[in-house]
């Protein structure tokens, strides 16, 4: 062990810091568990403030480590001792757990609103509004909403939020869907439109159904399906329902 510590000390601090700053979060944590040298270096505020701003660019903070209260410190992983030199690292972890909790709230809401895996557009748009209110970032969506273990309805909510609220380019979203192995998942969108008037008579209300994969939907931001989902049930559109294909639709009674 002494030889290992001595070898690592030969690496200039600026070079070691540069190496650590290029790693992803999981690799950085793994490197920090190798030895005392890397543990102290990987806890540097200069690394974690950069990672924080990259993941949550909409949140603006000063370069000073944030001051955490007792509740914030208790949310850090069990057994980790708080230190002022690890302010941004602790703050990053705290924010991560907060986003995980928010995502769990959304998942619970969607499950309650879709007992038969069929979601009304009003509930669908409310879920997206909640994501806006908590300022969930792109990485949060990929990590918590694009997970293959989740229902495709939750995947769709994350897709819609990423494109329309966060303004993520379609190419980036498609790549994320592919990496999460959910790009081929399909959703069924069905909507009812008010019947047209012809020669003083109103025709029967129209029903339209589209089954489309998440990958194809991401490429068609200005398409008909996304247009209906984004507007919701307004004007001539009486009702919009999103469901898993081949599921029994909830009857609609007048």
Task: Say if 221 falls within a structural domain.
Answer: yes
Q: In whole angstroms, how far apart are CA 144 and each of 31, 100, 140?
A: 24, 7, 6
Residues 135 and 234 in one domain: yes
> pLDDT tens digits for 8-40?
556 788 888 888 888 888 888 888 888 888 888
- Provide the residue range defining the domain that includes 130: 97-243
Q: How many CB atoms lie within 10 A of CB 226?
A: 19
57 and 140 in a single domain? The answer is no
Does 153 or 204 have the greater pLDDT score?
Answer: 153
Structure confidence at residue 74 (pLDDT): 44
Residue 76's pLDDT is: 40
Is 122 domain-assigned? yes
Residue 73 lies in a domain: no
- The Cα 56–Cα 168 span in angstroms is 14
pLDDT tens figures, 79-105: 344 344 448 888 899 999 999 999 999
Q: Are residues 149 and 209 in the same domain?
A: yes
90 and 151 co-located in one domain: no
Question: pTM for this structure?
Answer: 0.77
Q: Average model confidence (pLDDT) for the chain? A: 80
Check whether residue 89 and residue 118 sit in a common domain.
no
Please state, as a whole number, how many other Cβ atoms lie within 10 Å of the Cβ of residue 120: 18
Spatial CA neighbour of 120 closest among 190, 50, 225 = 190
Please report the pLDDT score of residue 190 as a whole number. 92
How many separate domains does the chain show?
2
Burial class (CB in 10 A: 0-12, 13-18, 19+), 252: exposed
Could you tell me the pLDDT band of residue 169, with boundaries at 50, 70 and 90?
A: very high
* pLDDT tens digit sequence for 170-189: 999 999 999 999 999 999 99
Helix (H, G, I), strand (E, B), or coil: what is residue 219?
helix
Question: What whole-number distance in Å separates Cα of residue 27 and Cα of residue 130?
Answer: 31
Q: State yes or no: pLDDT of 131 exceeds 90.
A: yes
What percent of the chain clears pLDDT 90, i.e. is strictly above it? 40
């Amino acid at each position: 062990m002494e030889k290992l510590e001595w070898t690592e000390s030969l690496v200039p601090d600026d070079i070691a810091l540069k190496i650590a700053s290029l790693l992803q979060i999981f690799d950085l944590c793994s490197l920090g568990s190798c030895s005392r040298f890397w543990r102290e270096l990987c806890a540097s505020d200069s690394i974690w403030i950069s990672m924080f701003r990259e993941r949550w660019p909409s949140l603006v903070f000063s370069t000073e480590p944030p001051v955490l209260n007792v509740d914030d410190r208790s949310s850090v992983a069990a057994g980790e001792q708080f230190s002022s030199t690890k302010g941004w690292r602790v703050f990053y972890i705290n924010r991560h757990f907060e986003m995980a909790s928010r995502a769990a709230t959304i998942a619970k809401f969607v499950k309650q609103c879709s007992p038969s895996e069929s979601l009304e557009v009003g509930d669908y748009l409310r879920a997206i509004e909640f994501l806006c209110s908590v300022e969930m970032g792109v990485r949060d969506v990929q990590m918590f909403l694009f997970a293959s273990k989740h229902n495709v309805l939750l995947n769709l909510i994350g897709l819609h939020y990423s494109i329309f609220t966060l303004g993520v380019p379609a190419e980036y979203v498609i790549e994320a869907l592919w990496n999460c192995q959910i790009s081929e998942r399909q959703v069924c969108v069905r909507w009812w439109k008010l019947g047209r008037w012809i020669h003083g008579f109103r025709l029967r209300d129209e029903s339209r159904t589209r089954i489309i994969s998440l990958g194809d939907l991401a490429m068609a931001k200005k398409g008909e399906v996304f247009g209906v989902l984004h507007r919701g049930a307004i004007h001539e559109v009486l009702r919009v329902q999103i469901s898993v294909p081949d599921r029994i639709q909830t009857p609609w009674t007048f």
